[in-house]
Structure 1
């Protein structure tokens, strides 16, 4: 049964998708019409397209241009390139091995990009290092590649894999509030390099898919690349909201702010969370704990400043909470004890 309330996106996402093709002088009106999108519609934040229309446009462009890279790159990613990358990943025994094979094959197929795989023992990340300034300047190239890597890895894992964080090497666009529909995890803009982060231990797990499932996956892959599973559990909705607000405002909303954003009372939100075996405080504290560990390990930010960043009244309150969360002091985590 189809969802009676279709998932929609601002039409500015379409404009971002088409920018490289327009630069190359490719006639796009026919592609838009074929996807059910009015070519005269303003492709801005005020107008919207459905996920099905967007996916149809992706399919039409790939077929018409013979390019799974949507004219973004100097050399076409001809039809079949994506399948080749997934096949190479399927040959690996572990998820981290699959990630290496996938990015290695991408590097072989594309001259404009040098994806680098790094593992610090806690997180595995793929950094997107572009070799062509024109391609690096196209934000959609960053978005597409990050999404591609994440959704393929999630499929190989069995469908539940979450990214720890996504970095984008450009400032937040005016429609950044819509990003969680496509990138439902911690987002960091204006980073030195675009990257996607995974939990290192999670990626030691075996690949849970095999070649027999590939054809069915490829049939659905475009929509999967675009639209994540829509959060239905209250706890997931709370996590998404807190991550989005932290990415947008560097703040951690409280229970009242969160319940208002989810259009319910604080008591109702607490009741729904309890039915799922969760609590608002635990969800919020787990997110703050993860962020604190990341900041301690990757920056020299003074503890009082970090405490304020996490919403604590003072350094002592933060240090007590951190010891409760992790069994260690912030100083021990920073030193790698």
Structure 2
């Protein structure tokens, strides 16, 4: 249920994660390096890291700070709290009881936000209610809490929970295009409260996890709840998966449309509705796979360029710098 290891996230995710810590810069750099991220990328505005790198850095910071939501809120959530939360949720008869227990748990451990569970117009709302003035401007904390609610609900029910609506009580961020992969539902910014809306009928869904599956879920945290894949819902993700199977060979939109049993016109219309194009998906896939191989292997850069579909190394360098703002060599971790 986690995202493909070839996917990437903006470097701003890393910057926001580090911003809440009180660790000295030298220690931050050491942990970034330990997570497999080239520290030089922190200063590159359009750089990206793999979801595995981000999750590794998250775990390192959580351990270093003894805080399972590292540095995001006014007091730490101590190690083991997330396990106790999940154990209490497993005893729930259905999702409704689990979500209520979720709100009660964070009432005990979180001072910055209260989580309000209510019904509105046939929908169930899980809203973050700021309790301090600082919480209002804590955009990253709100993003993480919304993802935690959704990720845990999806894990408990054994399927990717659809969302009727997502409200964000902050302006549209620069990385808003990433939200299509984070939240499976229409997102609205500049709202009164940050909130997730589920269909009311979803609350009757039984809990399908147990203590045995909990161990696996915890071992993959935060990837297990933060980077949940919605491949079967998004046409763009299906296109990406098709292209990934033929990475390194020329594949046109007509070929992909045939493999998805649709017309080019229909495919293009669906992609436009999801805010992307065939070419943008192809470029993002090649970018993400290149970053993955640059950071996880010692394969020569020219070979990686060929593997993602570039016969000419110069063309690959030019395209990669356009995508990320950095050269491929910048992603190679200097040991």
TM-score (norm 1): 0.68
1:32–1:39 contact (8 Å) kept in structure 2: yes
Q: CA deviation at 1:274?
A: 5.6
> What's the secondary structure of 1:71's corresponding residue?
coil
Residues 44 and 226 of structure 1, relative CA distance in 2, 3 Å threshold? farther
Tell me what 2:305 maps to. none
Shift of 1:152: 0.4
Q: Displacement, 1:230? A: 5.4
Partner of 2:130: 130
Q: Which runs of 5+ in 1 are unaligned?
A: 242-262, 288-337
The answer (yes or no) to whether the contact 1:51–1:226 under 8 Å persists in 2 is no
Are positions 1:63 and 2:63 aligned together?
A: yes
User: What SS class does the counterpart of residue 12 from structure 1 fall into?
Assistant: helix
Q: 1:141 Cα shift?
A: 0.3
Aligned counterpart, 1:237: 235
Q: Assess if the C-alpha contact under 8 Å between 2:148 and 2:226 holds in 1.
A: no
Contact 2:164–2:198 under 8 Å retained in 1: yes
Q: Which stretch shows the higher mean deviation, 176-185 or 3-12?
A: 3-12
Shift of residue 238, structure 1, vs aligned partner: 5.5
In 2, Cα distance between the equivalents of 1:228 and 1:160?
A: 8
Distance change (3 Å), C-alpha of 1:115 and 1:25: farther
* Distance verdict in 2 for CA 1:150–1:5, change over 3 Å: closer
Deviation of 1:47 after TM superposition, in Å, equals 0.6
Structure-1 residue corresponding to 2:21? 21
Deviation >6 Å, runs of 4+ = none
Residue of structure 1 equivalent to 2:75: 75
* 2:288 match: none
Q: Distance in 1 between matches of 2:28 and 2:21?
A: 8
Moved more, 76-85 or 117-126: 117-126
Higher relative contact order (CA 8 A, sep 6+): 2
The superposition leaves residues 268-311 of structure 1 with CA deviations (integer Å, 9 ceiling, x where unpaired) of 64882569xxx88xx89xx9xxxxxxxxxxxxxxxxxxxxxxxx
> Aligned residue for 1:209?
209
Q: How many residues align?
A: 257
Evaluate the alpha carbon distance shift between residue 102 and residue 151 of structure 1 in structure 2; reply closer, same or farther with a 3 A threshold.
Answer: same
Alpha-carbon offset, residue 193 of structure 1: 0.6
For residue 228 of structure 2, what is the aligned residue in structure 1? 228
Q: Secondary structure at the match of 1:159?
A: coil
> Deviations for 1:76-120, whole angstroms, at most 9, x for unmatched residues?
100111112112211210111101101210111111111100113
2:8 counterpart of 1:8:
yes
Would you say the 8 A contact 1:158–1:209 is kept in 2? yes
2:105 is the alignment partner of 1:116: no
1:54 shift after superposition? 0.4
CA distance in 2, matches of 1:74, 1:35: 25
CA distance in 2, matches of 1:4, 1:150: 18
Task: Find out whether 1:272 has 2:260 as its counterpart.
Answer: yes
Alignment of 1:23-102 (within 5 A): 27-102=27-102
1:200 is matched with which residue? 200
User: Is the 8 Å Cα contact of residues 151 and 226 (structure 2) preserved in structure 1?
Assistant: no
Task: Compute the RMSD of aligned alpha carbons.
Answer: 3.2
TM-score calculated relative to the size of structure 2: 0.68
Aligned to 2:20, the other structure's residue is in SS state helix
Q: Is the 8 A contact 1:185 1:240 kept in 2?
A: no
Counterpart contact for 2:35–2:56, Cα < 8 Å: yes
SS state at 2:78 partner: coil
CA 1:57–1:211 in 2, change beyond 3 Å: closer, same or farther? Answer: same
Give the SS at the match of 1:28: helix
Conservation of the 8 A alpha-carbon contact between 2:5 and 2:51 = no
Specify the alignment match of 2:165 in structure 1: 165
